[in-house]
Amino acid sequence: METFLKTIQFTLPAIVVFITAWMILKEFFKKENENRRFTLLQEKQKLSFPVRLQAYERIVLFLERISPGNLIMRVNKPNLPVKKFQQLLIHTIREEYDHNLSQQLYVSPEAWDKVKNAKEELIQQINISAGKLDEKASSTDLSKAILELSIAKLSTRKALDFIKAEARKFL
């Protein structure tokens, strides 16, 4: 019995020291792991920040390029039939959109939805405006009709404002 008590007398403090050391080391490694994750997250953000900012810049440029006034000025072909000008405008919008498709990886889903909706609304405005004109109308007539309709909608402006506000959150 005496040897049993001596064994307990030595093992009990050793067990207490072992458990204490184990708990301290467990907490230490937990904090080290959190610090490592935080450091990795900071490095990841440091690397991805310029790419994300560039994506927002490209989307702003896309929205500016397809805004009705800028688009018409850039693509303007005087005396082109309405149907041809309509096709040219829509083709230009789709090319611009396709060129910027990869930017959706770097922006929020809400922001990308605003961009898609602005593009679709503008195409719809072009089609509605062209539908109201007869076949003999010119590209100038279509331009006027698009600008009149777009003043009421401003879909690209709304998307642009949303994108700018979202980009400012990262600055």
Backbone torsions φ then ψ of 136, nearest 5 degrees: -85, -5
Strand boundaries in 46-162, DSSP class E? none
119-129: per-residue pLDDT in tens? 999 999 999 99
In DSSP notation, 2-38 reads: HHHHHHHHHHHHHHHHHHHHHHHHHHHHHHHHHHHHH
Per-residue model confidence (pLDDT) at position 139: 86
**Which residue matches tokens 């041809």?**
84
94-120: per-residue pLDDT in tens? 999 999 999 998 999 999 999 999 999
8-36: per-residue pLDDT in tens? 888 888 888 889 999 999 999 999 999 99
Residue 82 lies in a domain: yes
Distance (Å, whole) CA 73 – CA 95: 17
The boundaries of the domain holding residue 61 are: 52-169
Taking 70 as the threshold, does the pLDDT of residue 152 lie above it?
no
Distance (Å, whole) CA 38 – CA 50: 19
Residue 98 lies in a domain: yes
Residue 32 lies in a domain: no
Distance (Å, whole) CA 145 – CA 74: 17
| CB burial readout 102-112, b (16+ within 10 A) else e | ebbebbeeebb
**Distances, alpha carbon 45 to alpha carbons 38, 48, 86, 105, 107, in Å:** 10, 5, 43, 15, 14
Distance (Å, whole) CA 47 – CA 43: 6
Per-residue model confidence (pLDDT) at position 117: 94
Residue 33 lies in a domain: no
42-64: per-residue pLDDT in tens? 887 777 788 889 999 999 999 99
Residue 11 lies in a domain: no
Percent of the chain topping pLDDT 70:
99
Residue 6 lies in a domain: no
Residue 25 lies in a domain: no
Residue 12 lies in a domain: no
Per-residue model confidence (pLDDT) at position 162: 92
Taking 80 as the threshold, does the pLDDT of residue 153 lie above it?
no
Q: Tell me which of 64 and 155 has the higher pLDDT.
A: 64
In total, how many domains does the chain have?
1
Per-residue model confidence (pLDDT) at position 156: 85
